[in-house]
Chains A and B, each alone.
Chain A
């Protein structure tokens, strides 16, 4: 069977499974819609969290980005996993004990203030919308490349699927579809990785193959070979990278703290029955995420070596079929600058003749390694699973923020549970349409902003939640001013250095040599300092709030998630 037919078959089967699960797990109450009734097992929640977490970016782009960044790629590997340690140790158990539906719920109650709640809702919407637009785009890209439909048609098909199970099933539907999506995506990622590892090094475990000798019998280690090839072509040694140490430090920390502050991740820990389950599911989630995240850097190293050996200084006329296939998509571009008919792939921008898009490394890898057609099709299904699962999780946060945090808690507290459920469904539907619109007409800044969503989460939520749990004396004045200063700081730096506003600036002008991606660290520190300073000049929180804090620190009597 051809790749095309295989792709249609696998994508159709996986979609049928997702829809079947959605019908089976419809939500009947707001509690089911918001937190899946609070009865999800730690294993299911761990799987769902992993799928929720691993987006189109993790699945399609990350290994490719790392293969161009070498050592520097560690910022994503450590940054997007280390946050789970913070989540498991510092946030999840306590937020579960607190037992409400959303992050703004916690902020609003802990800081006894609807202003704090509103600020938190605003941050949650900002973070989630920037993030979801990128996911819908990812869906469109996978459709257009593998099924040869128009990108826009792809986005619309994706919208209909997500609409179906997010609107119908809410958190309950999303959770169980995400369990299925995790299985699809991890299988789709691991199969080609194992094949390629065996081809390159003879070792079936990619994590070990990366440090093994090449299978060509030369006895050379793969990474030594790659370092040599990179230096020959004028690139930095693969295991060294090019970023400054402080920037690597800052980006890693901003991503870790941002991960721990992302509302769509935190909210997953409200769905388990108790504190003990919240801890356990955080551990399982990281285990499941770790499988992909420790494999990805191996794929990066294999793909990079493979690519250089295939194209560097080889005649263009002798390129294999995949080369021309991907040239047609525009993701691979060859211009024969010196007219010698050979491909010069060099670090020097003037002499370099080959432009390679990050995404090719994962998407084209199976073709480059000449794997069977069904494996290539599997990658398409996996990419869709990754994009859809994350999009659904984000859409839920958006709809909950509107129906629960804004309408129920602030505007019309007297609506019935049934009405609230319908409002939640309605806002999920509206959010899908808006996200789809941005997927079809991506504003130029989407890609840039997705990475910065972490900075925004790090600068706003993380300090407020941590102080709320670990510092009983923390009051609303401090928390609100901290969040506002943190998020403004981050927005300012982002606009100045990413979009050229406020006079713009070059990398040489970065404060402390820290890039906008890493600035979340500085904004977070600013948040902490402002919050603690303001706190020390303003009255302590009322005794009943201090009681809440004492209560969430103890795991017993976690109770069910309650709505009021």
Chain B
């Protein structure tokens, strides 16, 4: 692989990770917390209605997890392409 092909392949994999993570980002916040809130509110966990919980708690936890997953994936990807030095 030339360095240019390598860069292209790296970028493609990066974009794939980004799209997957951003879909989850959208689903937990705008999906579960806003668009489908009323539907989810029919499910209860303890004192929480689920839609309300996602909007005020759950989405935030997932955001944090998403960034750390991204960090892990990218560190691995950097290593795979030798960009980690």
Contacts and interface: CB of A to CB of B under 8 A. Distances in A.
Contacts of A84: 63, 67
A290 B63 CA distance: 9
Contacts of A553: 7, 10-11, 14
Contacts, number: 126
Interface string A243-270: 0010011001100000000000000000
Interface in B26-66: 29-30, 33-35, 37, 41, 45-49, 52-53, 55-57, 59-61, 63-64, 66
A248 B61 contact: no
A280 B78 CA distance: 14
Interface string A57-79: 00000000010000101100110
A211 B25 contact: no
A547 to B, nearest CB: 11
A351 B63 CA distance: 43
B85 interface: yes
Contacts of A550: 7
Contacts of A280: 71
A34 B21 CA distance: 32
Interface stretch (A103-111, A281-289, A333-341): A281-289
Nearest to A208: B46
Contacts of A283: 64, 67-68, 70-71
A297 B59 contact: no
A211 B56 contact: no
B55 to A, nearest CB: 4
Interface in A451-505: none
B45 A554 contact: no
B70 A88 contact: yes
Contacts of B7: 550, 553-554
A408 interface: no
Interface stretch (A142-150, A221-229, A399-407): A221-229
A210 B70 CA distance: 30
Nearest to A248: B34
B66 to A, nearest CB: 6
Contacts of B49: 223, 239
A554 B10 contact: yes
Question: What is the size category of the interface that chain A forms with chain B?
Answer: 35 or more
A249 B66 contact: no
A239 B41 contact: yes
A293 interface: yes
Question: What is the size category of the interface that chain B forms with chain A?
Answer: 35 or more
Contacts of A88: 67, 70-71
Contacts of B46: 211-212, 221
B64 A74 contact: no
Contacts of B84: 276, 555-556
Contacts of B57: 207, 210, 294, 297
Contact of A286 (B30, B59, B67): B67
A85 B66 contact: yes
A82 interface: yes
Contacts of A556: 78, 82-85
Contact of A71 (B10, B35, B52, B74): B52
A442 to B, nearest CB: 30
Contact of A77 (B21, B30, B56): B56
Contacts of B14: 553
A191 interface: no
Given A89-B22, A221-B47, A248-B34, A279 B60 contact: no
A280 B75 CA distance: 10
Contact of B47 (A222, A245, A253): A222
Contacts of A213: 47
A90 interface: yes
A89 B17 CA distance: 9
B33 to A, nearest CB: 6
A553 B29 CA distance: 28
Contacts of B71: 88, 279-280, 283
Interface of A: 66, 71, 73-74, 77-78, 81-82, 84-85, 88-90, 93, 207, 210-213, 221-224, 239, 245, 248-249, 252-253, 276, 279-280, 282-283, 286-287, 290, 293-294, 297, 550, 553-556
Rank and list the top 6 A-B pairs by shortest CB-CB distance, nearest first: A221-B47, A74-B55, A283-B67, A211-B47, A556-B83, A211-B48
29 contacts: A77-B55, A77-B56, A77-B59, A78-B55, A78-B60, A84-B67, A89-B66, A89-B67, A210-B47, A211-B45, A211-B46, A211-B53, A213-B47, A221-B46, A223-B49, A252-B30, A253-B30, A276-B75, A283-B64, A283-B67, A283-B68, A287-B64, A290-B61, A290-B64, A293-B60, A553-B10, A553-B11, A555-B74, A555-B84
